[in-house]
Structure formats: C-alpha cells, structure tokens
Amino acid sequence: MKSTEAVPFGTHLNLYAITDEGKSLIHQQQVVVPSSNQNPYAQVWLPEQVTVDHESEYVFEVEIPDGRQIEFFHSDIEGESNFEINGIKTPAHLAFEMGIAKPVKSLFKIRESVRSNVQPWELNIPDDYACLTMQRYLSSSAVYDGNTITQTFTACQDGVLDQLFLNATIQTNNQSDPSASLTILNEEGQQMAQADAIWNANYDYLKFDFAQNLLAGGATYTLKIDVADNTTITLNTVDVSQYFVGQMTIDGSSVAQNVCFMGLMQNAPVVDEPEEDMEVDHNIYDNYDQWDHEFYHEKPTYVEKLRHKVYPNPFVSEFNVKVETEAQIPGVITLYNFMGKKVFERNVEDMSSVNEVAVNPTEELTIGYYTLRIEYGDDIILDTVVKQ
C-alpha cells in the first residue's frame, strides 16, 4: 500500500481475533504509509509479542485517517479470505506477508564484519512506552565527515517523545571526548526538542534523552545531527530500495540512504470504565493459557502437516521442490513475489511422481521473500522461500 500523495503519513494497523462472540482487538500497531513516489509496501515490526493460534481466524485492519487516501495493491494468489473496504467485500485479496519472529539479539541488524568490536544492544521497551517512529533495516555502515546530518521522518501517532536511539557511533582523533547533539525540527523549521548524545564506545548506538516534547501523529519532522569538529560519526543506514520514509542530507547534500533510529514515547494510561455491577478481570492477559481459554471454548483441532521439502532455502538462482504424496493426480507449483505477482508456474501431471521439481524463474528475482504454492486436489501447501 502507499499514499496517493507525495507525503507519507502515520496510521494504525489493528489485529483482531475472530471468536464465537465476534471480533476482539488483540493488538494495535503504528505504521507509516509510504508516499506515492516510494516503494508501495509498509513493513511492520511489532514492539511486543503477539501470540496467534494455529487454524484460528484473524483480521487485520488498516485505519485511513480523515483527509488521507491509500492505494492498496491486491494479490494474484487465490485464497479463502476476504478483502473489505469500509465493511464491503471486494473480489480482490490484499497482498501481504506475515512472519513468526525469532529471538532478536539487537534492535538493529549489525553485520559482524562491520561492527565486530561492538556489543549488540538489547532493547526492553517498558510497558508504559510505545514506539513513536522507527527505521531499523541495516544496509551498510559508512563514516561521515560532515558537521550536519539531517533525516526527515513521519511520526506514527501522537505522543510525548521521551528518548531517541540512533544507530551510530562517534569517534575522536584527539584526547577529548567525541561530541554530537540532536535537534528535532517541525515542518516550519522550528525547534521542537534538543539533546546531547549519551554514548558508550562499547555499544552500537547513541542515546538522546528529551524533556516532554509532544509530537503529532502524521506530521513530518526532521532530525538534525550536529557533530563537533573533533568528531567523526559512523552511521548504519537504511537502503532506500528496501524501505524509504524520508530524506537524508549531509551538509545540505542529499544522500541515497536513510538513518537507522527509533523514537520512544511515554503513553498516557487508558482506563476503560466498567459498567455498573460488572465484574472485570484486569489480569485476563497476564498469561497465555488464560488468554487462550477466554477466546475458545475448546482447543482447535490441529491437522497433520502436509509433507514437502524445499532445498536449498535460501536460494541464489533456483531451488528444488519435493512433495511426499501417493495421490496420483495433477497439480500446479507456483511462486509469487512479496506483492503477490506470479513469477513462476509449472503444471505437474502426477503429483506422486514429484521427487524433484526445479523452480527456476526466467526473470531475474530481487533479493527477498517469496511465497511457494503447491496445489493438488483439495490440498494446498504454502511455504516461504528466500532469494539471497
């Protein structure tokens, strides 16, 4: 998805669980909608753990703020789900991909060859905090000699900015300590906040503490990083071809990168007033077992996984598929890119004979995730393969 205008904006993505009682909100996530001249997808990293159940039904919803329009891209992949706009079903299916998170050692993906002498930073966001804005896809590390670096960004929601973490290190070539400061400017160029860098040579980030500065969701701001004359800064940056939500400059000259950073805001507590004589269990979400029990009268029945193999995965130019089945029926093997476009298809006369099928798209594939679909009879196998 992307905005119909040349300016990105912030909104919310809501995740609902479908139960016998109806729709229940289990998570709300801020997201930046790219501008019309940017890559048409928004990649969302959840700052907290969200548990989903196998074979259960969920709905995700994108809020569209007043005065904004979003252009959605639909997928060629046929499915059983519904894509609705304002509650009205459409014949399309939204192009999206979800992944199960693995333990993250650092907020930023630091290559060992780049920062082998630094300790990854493990971030624990307090319960009463939320992410105001974030860019966290490491492309490369570069040393910049400029005295002033700027980076524009869009705030995902209203909030009081408390801290900002910049994926960078600073060094000095003399005996004095390195020095850098960060200023946040609004669209009119007025200063909203200013702080000096808190740094430690053993870590891969600079920390900035602010004092109760309110930022407006959907508004565009500029990070202005000023580096002292005796200091050089090493910035880990975001490749604009992966995710582009702003513009970076060095001493006034545009750079085809973006800065990795994260801003945290402190939430104002929201208290729902219970109805009169209504007993409320405030600890309902304290553990998963109780949460799961509230959503289901009985556990869903788990189906046996269909047997197949994909190798190698990740792949460079092609990979092989093996399906373990005795069903002597025709089938089709297809591959789709992130946006749901079909990039490979092969019909198979007898699926029981599929000991090894080479998936070798004729077009050059970009690095990233692809969806493999194997269909025969009533069975459909969906898997994710990675082009490296």
pLDDT at position 127 is 55
Note down pLDDT in tens along the chain; length 388 residues.
888 887 667 777 888 888 888 888 888 776 777 777 766 766 665 555 677 777 788 888 888 887 888 888 776 655 556 777 777 777 777 766 665 544 333 333 333 333 334 444 445 555 555 556 655 544 455 666 668 888 887 776 677 888 888 888 888 877 778 889 999 998 888 998 899 998 877 777 788 988 767 888 777 889 999 988 888 888 877 655 444 456 788 888 887 777 877 777 765 433 344 444 444 444 433 333 333 333 333 333 333 344 678 888 778 888 888 888 888 888 899 888 755 678 899 898 888 887 788 898 888 887 776 778 888 887 777 777 877 7
pTM: 0.42
Smallest CA-to-CA distance from 385 within 340, 337, 342, 344 is with: 337
pLDDT at position 33 is 76
Q: Which CATH class is domain 308-387?
A: mainly beta
pLDDT at position 183 is 93
Candidates 3.30.450.20, 2.60.120.820, 3.40.50.150, 3.40.50.620; CATH matching 129-266: 2.60.120.820
Q: Are 135 and 259 within 8 A, CB to CB? A: yes
pLDDT at position 77 is 59
Centre a 10 Å sphere on the Cβ of residue 299 and count the other Cβ atoms it contains. Answer: 11
Q: Residue 222 corresponds to which amino acid?
A: T
**Strand-pair partners of 369:** 386
**Strand 220-227 relative to strand 180-185, pairing:** antiparallel
pLDDT at position 245 is 53
Q: Are 345 and 333 within 8 A, CB to CB? A: yes
Q: Are 223 and 182 within 8 A, CB to CB? A: yes
Q: What is the Cα–Cα distance from 379 to 388, expressed in whole angstroms?
A: 29
Residues of the chain with CATH 2.60.120.820: 129-266
Q: What is the Cα–Cα distance from 280 to 270, expressed in whole angstroms?
A: 15
Give the residue carrying structure tokens 């582009």: 244
pLDDT at position 177 is 82
Q: Are 263 and 223 within 8 A, CB to CB? A: no
User: Going by C-beta distance under 8 Å and a sequence separation of 6 or more, which residues neighbour residue 100?
Assistant: none
Residues of the chain with CATH 2.60.40.3080: 308-387
